[in-house]
Structure 1
Amino acid sequence: MFGRLGAPEIILILVVIILLFGAKKLPDMARSLGKSARILKSEAKAMKEDGSTSAQAPAPGEQPPAQRTIQAAPGDVASSRPVNEPTDTTQR
């Protein structure tokens, strides 16, 4: 019953969405959703890279990795912020 969506059903859903949120807010909502997806993707990629490099522990006395910058969107300098990587302060 609910498994098959045709063109009339999709059009009806789009009309309801436009009526609920208004045509002016939809582009802003789509833009913020895109920014959130890019941030999530870049953070997931950074976590994967950190996981693969953390397996190779640095030698004692070696410098920690450089500070990296997170950007919400490519070329968006206003929302970029530097991030300090956490360091392991425990002694063995």
Structure 2
Amino acid sequence: MIGLPQGAEWLVILAIVILVFGAAKLPDLARGTGQALRIFKAETKGLRDDDDDEKSPPPAPPAATELPPTPPAAPVENPVEDRQADKNNG
């Protein structure tokens, strides 16, 4: 079985990377890798948060408060009908 690289193996891997990409492009390569890892971590955290939200019970609805009874409204006379009655009588 192949395990993780040890000290000297890392040096060989680094030398191969420098030969393939060149020393000038290594900072850009590292920057791009870091950004990709940050995006990946943010997305996986968002997925975990979404899963936690789905597992938690929905919030309880607010308790209903009973309003006090209102007194019956007094009958309102319609002024339009009064004018029509005045026209007919007068």
Structure 2 length as normaliser, TM-score?
0.51
Q: How many residue pairs get matched?
A: 60
Which structure 1 residue ranges, 5 or more long, are not aligned? 60-92
Q: Give the alignment of 1:15-54 within 5 angstroms.
A: 15-54=15-54
Higher CA-based Rg: 2
Q: Percent of aligned positions with the same letter in both sequences? A: 42
More RCO (CA 8 Å, sep 6+): 1
Which is helix-richer, 1 or 2?
2
Structure 1 length as normaliser, TM-score?
0.50
Partner Cα distance (1:3, 1:44) in 2: 27
Which is strand-richer, 1 or 2?
1
RMSD: 2.8
Return the offset for 1:9: 3.4
Which structure 2 residue ranges, 5 or more long, are not aligned? 61-90
Return the offset for 1:6: 5.0
Return the offset for 1:2: 5.7
